Each structure stands twice: as C-alpha cells, then as structure tokens.
Amino acid sequence: MQAPNHVQDHIDTIAKHEHEFLARRSPAERLGDLTAAIVGNLGFVVAHICLFIFWILVNTLHVARIPHFDPMPFSLLGTVVAMEAILLASLILMRQSRLARRADEREHLVLQILLLTEKEVTAVIGMNQQIANKVGLSDMKDSKNIEQLGQNTSIDEVAQDIQKSLAEDV
C-alpha cells in the first residue's frame, strides 16, 4: 500500500533535511562518524582482543623467533592503548556533540510546529463556536471547556508554571 501523497511529501521533507545535515558535516565530523561506525561493532573488539593476546604471547613466549620488544609489564602496549583511548574518546565526543546539536535543532523545529498548531487549533475552535452559535447548538455555545480551549494560550505562562512545578518537586 502506497502512502498518501501528503504523507510522502512529509517523508521527503524529513529525508531532505537529514541529507542536508549530513552534507554540512566538516571533515573532522565525518572522521568522527566513520570512527564511531568502526569502533562501535563487535569486530573491532574482537580484533583488539586478538591483538592484545598476540602482543602478550609474543612478549612472554618464544613465538616464531620474534624478539621480546615489550617485556612485562607491557609499558609500550599500555602507552599505545592509552593514546588510542584518548583519540577515540575525543572523536566520539565530537560526534556526540554534533548529534546533540542536531537533536536541539529538531526540538526547536517541533516546538515551532506545536506553537503554530496551537494557534491554528484555537482559531478552529473559535470558528466552531461561531458556527454553533449561528445554528443554535446551545450545548456547544455554553460549554465552559470549549470556551476555555478557544482562548489563546500563553506559552510563557505555561513555561513558568512548569518551572514552578518542577522547582516544587525538588
């Protein structure tokens, strides 16, 4: 079953925004994404375990007549692993920071859409009240709930009420 045209339009718009976001990445951000893709899988972990086992065996046993280049306590291995950890952590933190910025962008977009939707719904309720008055639907005309929903909502007041409520909970 194919999605209705307006649904496909929304899907296309979202996909376009995601493609634009990915296209705007700097080379360092692309490197961070590539690094996260590589180190974020089991193969990377298995390869490291195999490398560590090989390193330890080569430096403790006589394997294929390779000289011991990093005797116990394997200070060279420790240094290499520490340097790798620093680089990986930095690249992954860069990626997380960029993804957090993108999440913030999405949240701002959703907030703007919700604010617009609230105004549109309030206007529709007002029109429905006027129609109810014209056709004589007294239940609709006298409903306090509908009257309250038809009034403009102050987003600033709602935000302040939420902050007060959260401050009381702490």
For the stretch 7-38, pLDDT in tens is: 888 888 888 988 888 898 889 888 888 888 89
- For residue 122, what are the contacts with CB-CB under 8 A and spacing of at least 6? 149, 150, 151, 152, 153
pLDDT band at 43 (very low <50, low <70, confident <90, very high): very high
pLDDT at 165: 83
pLDDT at 1: 53
Please state the pTM of the whole predicted model.
0.63
Domain presence at residue 127: yes
Domain presence at residue 90: yes
Selection from 146, 30, 35 nearest residue 92 by Cα: 35
Full domain range(s) for residue 155:
5-39+73-169
pLDDT at 115: 87
More confident residue, 22 or 2: 22
Domain presence at residue 55: no
Domain presence at residue 133: yes
Q: Looking at the 3D structure of the chain, how many domains does it have?
A: 1
pLDDT in tens, 118-153: 888 888 888 888 888 888 877 766 677 777 777 777
Domain presence at residue 112: yes
pLDDT at 3: 53
Domain presence at residue 54: no
pLDDT at 2: 56
pLDDT band at 48 (very low <50, low <70, confident <90, very high): very high
Domain presence at residue 50: no
Domain presence at residue 57: no
Alpha-carbon distances of 66 from 54, 61, 96, 156, rounded to whole Å: 11, 9, 41, 72
pLDDT at 79: 95
155: tokens are: 């987003």
